[in-house]
Amino acid sequence: ERLFILRWLVMLSIPAVIAVFTGFSLLPSNQAPLVLRVVHPAPPGEISFAGKTINLREAVNPFREYETADPEKFAEHVELGRKVYYENCHYCHGDFLDGKGPFATALDPKPANFQDVGTIAQLQETYVFWRVAKGGPGLPNESMPWQTAMPAWEGILSENDIWDVTLFLYKATNHPPRTWE
């Protein structure tokens, strides 16, 4: 009988000890993260795209002028951008541009929610062009450890495709692009 009680105590204490250690290992830490990551890093002054240099401080979306000069042509470019978005971007960024596409749950960090005023509304069109063209691999050191699944679309999308999808993003979210101040 004494051995029976001892056996039960051992069988109950082992899972209890494991549960306590597991519980303590899952407690949140009060320590700062090892590396701080900048979500929207400063863009480089210029980038190379398809063999040409684009100065991001001076470049403008070549189709933005149509917004007032030729609204029909502007609408055509927005529509082209919509097609590019739904053929390539919606898988991660979602049908409603909310960062909730079918692939989004598998990504860390989550894709940008363009409906949030903290994203697209805060950015210049050239910044969006740079991020689409260069993706995660084109991020500067302050964005280390480059925890993003954003692919570099250079070589897949043309320069015009990227400018068109940029127009679509701003139009679909009802945000004007931020301008250099």
Q: Across all residues in the chain, what is the average pLDDT? A: 89
Helical H segments across the chain, by residue range: 2-25, 66-69, 71-84, 90-93, 125-134, 159-173
> Is-above-0.75 flag for pTM?
yes
Query: Which contacts qualify for 86-90: CB closer than 8 Å, 24 or more apart?
Result: 88/153, 88/156, 88/157, 88/165, 89/165
The predicted model gives 105-128 an average pLDDT of 90
Give me the residue spans of the domains in the chain: 46-173
Confidence of residue 179 (pLDDT cuts 50, 70, 90): confident
Distance CA 70, CA 30 (A): 56
Distance CA 170, CA 117 (A): 11
What percent of the chain shows pLDDT beyond 70? 91
CA dihedral 50, 51, 56, 57 (to 10 degrees): -150
Confidence of residue 82 (pLDDT cuts 50, 70, 90): very high
Confidence of residue 139 (pLDDT cuts 50, 70, 90): confident
Q: What is the predicted pLDDT for the residue at 30? A: 78
Are the CB atoms for 152 and 135 separated by under 8 Å?
A: yes
Confidence of residue 2 (pLDDT cuts 50, 70, 90): confident
State yes or no: pLDDT of 97 exceeds 60: yes
Q: pLDDT tens for residues 24-39?
A: 888 887 777 666 666 6
> Which CATH architecture does the domain made up of 46-173 adopt?
Orthogonal Bundle (1.10)
The predicted model gives 71-83 an average pLDDT of 98
Amino acid letter, 157: L
Between 146 and 168, where is the model more confident? 168
